[in-house]
Structure 1
Amino acid sequence: MVKLNIAIIGFGRVGGACALALRHADELALAGVVRCPSSPMKLRDPLGGVPVVTHVRDLKRVDMALICVPAGAVLGVARELLQAQIPIVECAVLEGHTLERHYSAIGDAARHHSVPAIVGAGWNPGILPLFEGAFTTLVPDGYTKRTNRPGAGLHHTEAAESIQGVKGALATETRDTQGQLARYVYVELEKSIKGSAGTSLEAVKAALAADPLFVGEQTCVFEVDSIAALEEEERGILLERVGTERTGAHAALLLEGRFDVPTFTARVMVDAAKCIPSLKPGAHRYSLWG
Structure 2
Amino acid sequence: MKKLQVAVIGLGRLGQACADALAGEDDMTLTGIVRRPDSLRAVPQRFRRFPVAEHVRELPPVDVALVCVPADAALGVARELIQAHFPIVECARLEGAALEAHHADIDAAANHYRIASVVGAGWSPGVLPLFTRAFEILIPRGHNLFHRHPGISLHHSAAVAHIPGVKGALAGQFRAADGTPQQYVYVELARGADIAAVRAAIAADPLFADEETQVFQVASLSELEAEEGQGMVLERRSAPVSGVHESLLLEARFEIAAFAARVMIDAARRIPVLPHGAHRYSLGI
TM-score, normalisation: structure 1: 0.72
d(CA) in 2 for partners of 1:254, 1:88: 34
Identity across matched positions, percent: 52
Gaps of 5+ in 2: 157-166, 169-226
d(CA) in 1 for partners of 2:260, 2:154: 22
Q: CA deviation at 1:133?
A: 0.2
Instruction: Check if 1:283 corresponds to 2:263.
Output: no
Question: Structure 2 counterpart of 1:15, which letter?
Answer: G
Which residue pairs with 2:201 in the alignment?
none
Q: CA deviation at 1:154?
A: 7.6
Q: CA deviation at 1:41?
A: 3.0
Which residue pairs with 2:33 in the alignment?
33
Write out per-residue CA displacement over residues 55-106 of structure 1, whole angstroms, 9 at most, x where no aligned residue: 1111011111000001011111111111111100000001111110000000
Name the SS of the counterpart of 1:262 in structure 2.
helix
Question: Structure 2 counterpart of 1:249, which letter?
Answer: V
Q: CA deviation at 1:249?
A: 1.2
d(CA) in 2 for partners of 1:131, 1:35: 34
d(CA) in 2 for partners of 1:93, 1:31: 25
Write out per-residue CA displacement over residues 160-211 of structure 1, whole angstroms, 9 at most, x where no aligned residue: xxxxxxxxxxxx9xxxxxx89xxxxxxxxxxxxxxxxxxxxxxxxxxxxxxx
| 2:6–2:31 Cα contact (<8 Å) kept | yes
Instruction: Check if 1:93 corresponds to 2:88.
Output: no
Question: Structure 2 counterpart of 1:100, which letter?
Answer: E
Name the SS of the counterpart of 1:7 in structure 2.
strand
Name the SS of the counterpart of 1:69 in structure 2.
coil
d(CA) in 2 for partners of 1:247, 1:85: 52
Question: Structure 2 counterpart of 1:126, which letter?
Answer: G
> Which runs of 4 or more aligned residues in structure 1 lie more than 6 Å from their structure 2 counterparts after TM superposition?
none
Which residue pairs with 1:265 in the alignment?
260
Which residue pairs with 1:184 in the alignment?
none
| 2:118–2:267 Cα contact (<8 Å) kept | yes
d(CA) in 2 for partners of 1:21, 1:154: 29
Which residue pairs with 2:2 in the alignment?
2
Question: Structure 1 counterpart of 2:63, which letter?
Answer: D
Write out per-residue CA displacement over residues 240-283 of structure 1, whole angstroms, 9 at most, x where no aligned residue: 10001232211001100100000000000001000111100001
d(CA) in 1 for partners of 2:136, 2:108: 31
| 2:40–2:54 Cα contact (<8 Å) kept | no
Which residue pairs with 1:236 in the alignment?
231
d(CA) in 2 for partners of 1:58, 1:233: 36
Which residue pairs with 1:203 in the alignment?
none
Aligned alpha-carbon RMSD (Å) = 2.3
Name the SS of the counterpart of 2:39 in structure 1.
coil
| 1:62–1:86 Cα contact (<8 Å) kept | yes
d(CA) in 1 for partners of 2:122, 2:92: 8
Q: CA deviation at 1:27?
A: 1.4
**How many residues are matched?**
220
TM-score, normalisation: structure 2: 0.73
Which residue pairs with 1:129 in the alignment?
129
Which residue pairs with 2:243 in the alignment?
248
Gaps of 5+ in 1: 156-171, 173-178, 181-231
Question: Structure 1 counterpart of 2:266, which letter?
Answer: D
Write out per-residue CA displacement over residues 104-143 of structure 1, whole angstroms, 9 at most, x where no aligned residue: 0000000000001100000100000000000000000000
d(CA) in 2 for partners of 1:37, 1:129: 36
| 2:71–2:93 Cα contact (<8 Å) kept | yes
Name the SS of the counterpart of 1:26 in structure 2.
coil
